[in-house]
Structure 1
Amino acid sequence: MANDNIYVHFHPDEHRFVDQATEWIGRAEQHAVKLTDFLDPRQAFILNSLANAHPDVHVRFEGGHEGAERRRAIVAPDYRVLEDEDAGIRVIAVSSPDDSLAELDHGDYMGAILGLGMKRDKIGDIYPRPDGCHIVVAAESADYLSLQLSQVHRVHVRTEILTAERLQPTETRLEEQQLSVASLRLDGIASDVYRLSRAKVLVPIKAGRCKVNWKQEEDPSKPLKEGDVVSMKGFGRFTLLEVEGLSKKGRHRIRIGKYV
């Protein structure tokens, strides 16, 4: 299938990744094996969708544990046993001699990592805990990150490289809120969650800084449904947990979970 026909199924900003994924699949058909960087769930969906159209190619995703959000992919010819392939994943265990790590969150660790010049594509999920943090990282970047990461926010830290089998994932924490909204439109719900006026929330949406289920969404009127995950650059992300029904005044009662 020609790429210009494939493109109609994807957002224009996704076309570059579609090209990459198509190239990986094409190489697998020529008996090559590709280990990708970490993919978000939308990228994994695109790669898997394209690979499913090629019966002589298969894909394995690995992010350190079964519930991982960001995962590397191994794209290979169908005769390769992918369970025997090394997914190239290590874990950076972050610790500190005092109790100050309890104050740090996901954003603090991510800011420190990116501040070292690390590419986001080399980092998987990050699991902060009160006594430290486990950071999933590409094996080829583990030594650099372990050597360079000495401070997170204002806290001095020490690191250790672990195998993926020693990963201790933490459960995602959601701060639940109950809201009453006029409609299930993206802009209406996002304005309440982020406590922005409707006019102000339109700016990042129309600027392409909002994603619904990891797919860029520029239509503020898009209706949300239960299970949708919304992220807005600079404001965090939330999931629509439940649409509970209509109030006597015809407003939608919803329950959302904001990632903390």
Structure 2
Amino acid sequence: MDKSKLLDRVSGDREDRLLLAKVLDRAEQTRNRSIPTYTDFLSPQQQMLAVDLLRLAGIGETSYTVLGGYGGAERNILLFLPEWMEAADAQTQSPIRLLRASFRPEFHLTHRDFLGSLMGMGIVREKVGDILVGKEHCDLAVLDTVAEFLLQNWDSAGRAKLQVAAIEPVELQVPEAACEMIRDTVSSLRLDAVVSTGFKMARGKAVALIESGKVQVNWRECTKPDKLVEAETVVSARGLGKFELTEVGGVTRKGRISIVVKRYI
């Protein structure tokens, strides 16, 4: 299957198509020149699309590794490995640098403050991985192409002054995600029923939201309200955030299914 047909099979819009074309170019560069190459940071949805594309192109999962700067990262790069390179050696070829931006705690900076500051400096989102904000500092993963620039020039976010330094992976601090646990019963494990619980909305609104194409199940778009979901499924919706169906319990006397949802806030 040629490149254009591959992209037609996977990409949903022009922006996705351009990104996936770059992913395929990196994979071909590694194969043709026998050198390691890597993508920019990809969102979870973009990662899923990239994996689908590579599978269709006959590029197996042993041909690349996923790196985000730490285990469990949400935003990651794909590092393509030439045949002479072992997966265990991937870290030595990683282009990811970890930075810490320290600030005075009374400023109460947020993820939006840091992202806005970076964008204001001309740093595009694709060059930055996860942004982990604590009470007195923000740890973040960036590509080495922008790391030195940030170390030398990044001095403020919002109204706060920053002290920026490089850190090692063992120094990285991942804050605990803010979330709420929701216990409920549903008539079935249909997506619309679970979305109604997870986003606290009427069932009819959940159906409309799903059919509009704004809902993703495990980072893949789903427009079918009757899709059945199971425990450990992650559901996200544009503008509403995400939740995880963490537990599916037994059936109540009234024939309803007990569930537990972890909603990230």
Question: TM-score if structure 2 supplies the norm length?
Answer: 0.79
What is the deviation of 1:48?
Answer: 4.9
Instruction: State the match for 1:24 in structure 2.
Output: 26
Q: For structure 2, which runs of at least 5 residues remain unmatched after alignment?
A: none
The SS at the match of 1:25 is: helix
Alignment check: 8 A CA contact 1:88 1:139 kept: yes
Kindly provide the amino acid, as one letter, of the partner of residue 251 in structure 1. R
CA distance in 2, matches of 1:215, 1:149: 38
Give a deviation string over 1:97-153, Cα, whole Å, max 9, x none: 24343xx5445544554455543222211222223221222222234555356224x
Give the whole-Å Cα distance in 2 for the aligned partners of 1:251 and 1:84: 48
- The residue that corresponds to 2:164 in the other structure is 160
How far 1:229 moved relative to its partner? 0.9
2:157 is the counterpart of 1:151: yes
Shift of 1:20: 3.5
- Residue 55 of structure 1 and its aligned partner are, at CA, apart by 6.8
Moved more, 219-228 or 166-175: 166-175
RMSD: 3.2
Query: Taking every aligned residue pair, what percent have the same amino acid on both sides?
Result: 27
State how far apart, in whole Å, the 2-side matches of 1:156 and 1:143 are: 21
Normalised to the residue count of structure 1, the TM-score between the two structures is 0.80
Aligned residue identity for 2:165:
I
Residue 12, structure 1, aligned to residue 12, structure 2 = yes
> May I ask how many residue pairs the two structures share in their alignment?
256
Return the match for 1:86 from 82, 93, 107.
Answer: 93
C-alpha distance in structure 2 between counterparts of 1:119 and 1:77, whole Å: 28
Instruction: Supply the distance in 2 between the matched residues of 1:233 and 1:116 (Cα, whole angstroms).
Output: 26
Alignment correspondent of 1:248: 253
**Given that residues 56 and 77 in structure 1 are in contact (C-alpha distance below 8 angstroms), is that contact kept between their aligned partners in structure 2?**
no
Q: Distance in 2 between matches of 1:21 and 1:8?
A: 14
Of 37, 46, 53, which residue of structure 1 is paired with 2:40?
Answer: 37
Query: Distance between the aligned counterparts of 2:110 and 2:105, measured in 1?
Result: 16
Query: Structure 1 209/46 Cα, relative in aligned 2: closer, same or farther at 3 Å?
Result: closer
| 80-89 or 46-55, larger mean C-alpha shift | 46-55
Change (3 A) 1:207 1:45: closer
Secondary structure of the corresponding residue to residue 196 of structure 2: helix
Asked whether the 8 Å contact 2:101–2:139 carries over to 1, the reply is yes
Distance, in Å, in 2 between the alignment partners of 1:182 and 1:242 is 15
* Contact 2:232–2:246 (CA under 8 A) maintained in structure 1: yes
